[in-house]
Amino acid sequence: MERIDEPLYPPLATREALANALCHRDYAMGGGSIGLAVYDDRLEVTSTGPLHFGLTPVDLFGPHESRPWNPLIARTFYRRGIIEEWGRGTIRMADLTKSAGLPRPDIEERGDCVTVRFRHTNHSADRQLHVDLTEQQSAILHLLRHSERPLALREIRSLLDQQPNERRVREDLANLKAKLMTEVTGRGPGARWRAL
């Protein structure tokens, strides 16, 4: 009777992600959709169509002009109070997740889709209690957790105290990936690492 349920992800942030997916989806692409997927460690909202008007995922977390791909939908949402200020939705999502003690959402553009990914910390924290890490692996994980963006191998090496050789850092990253504590996107010099 006295229980208070706390949602895992801030409802206003997830609502903003869904509204953005509807406002910016490319409805001209056949077979497209908007997807909502819930995993043990994350929630993903995916919509068909790339980012438009030259915007990148990084741009979306700073001040940017609002140019919805579907202005009629955006205007309807604005009038109904579903979205508050045009051009501030992604910034608001970052503020809401930070206030809830969660990492900032990731926005990924891959092929003809854009994915907004919310992560929570409980899953990773519980998993880590049972995993032995070397001092350097712990330092790498700490760097990735506190970085606002995924990091390249050279950036990770430069941020570590003793700047170990590249082969050793590669092995540690592969070990952390095998333990499901990190993931990598891209290959070669374009590879970027982040904590799970």
HEC sequence for the chain: CCCCCCCCCCHHHHHHHHHHHHHHCCCCCCCCCEEEEECCCEEEEEEECCCCCCCCCCHHHCCCCCCCCCHHHHHHHHHHCCCCCCCCHHHHHHHHHHHCCCCCCEEEEECCEEEEEEECCHHHHHHHCCCCCCHHHHHHHHHHHHCCCCECHHHHHHHCCCCCCHHHHHHHHHHHHHCCCEEEECCHHHCEEEEC
pLDDT tens, per residue, the chain with 196 residues: 566 667 888 899 999 999 989 988 988 888 888 999 998 889 999 999 888 888 888 888 887 777 788 889 988 988 888 887 666 788 888 888 888 888 999 999 988 899 999 998 754 444 444 457 888 888 888 888 888 889 998 898 888 877 788 888 889 898 888 888 888 888 888 889 988 8
Q: Residues spanned by CATH 1.10.10.10 within the chain?
A: 123-195
Look at residue 3 in the predicted model and tell me its pLDDT. 65
And the tokens for 153?
A: 């191998």
The domain at 123-195 falls in which architecture?
Orthogonal Bundle (1.10)
Helix axes 135-146, 166-178, angle to 10 degrees: 80
The pairing of beta strand 192-195 with beta strand 113-119: unpaired
First-last CA distance in the chain: 35
The pairing of beta strand 106-110 with beta strand 34-38: unpaired
Look at residue 115 in the predicted model and tell me its pLDDT. 94
Q: Residues spanned by CATH 3.30.565.60 within the chain?
A: 11-120
CATH number for 11-120: choose from 2.60.40.10, 3.30.2270.10, 3.30.565.60, 3.40.1550.20. 3.30.565.60
Query: Quick one: which of 50, 44, 13 has its CA closest to 32?
Result: 50
pTM: 0.58
CA atoms within 13 A on the CB side of 164: 15
CB-based contacts of 95, cutoff 8 Å, min separation 6: none
Query: Quick one: which of 104, 132, 126, 27 has its CA closest to 72?
Result: 27
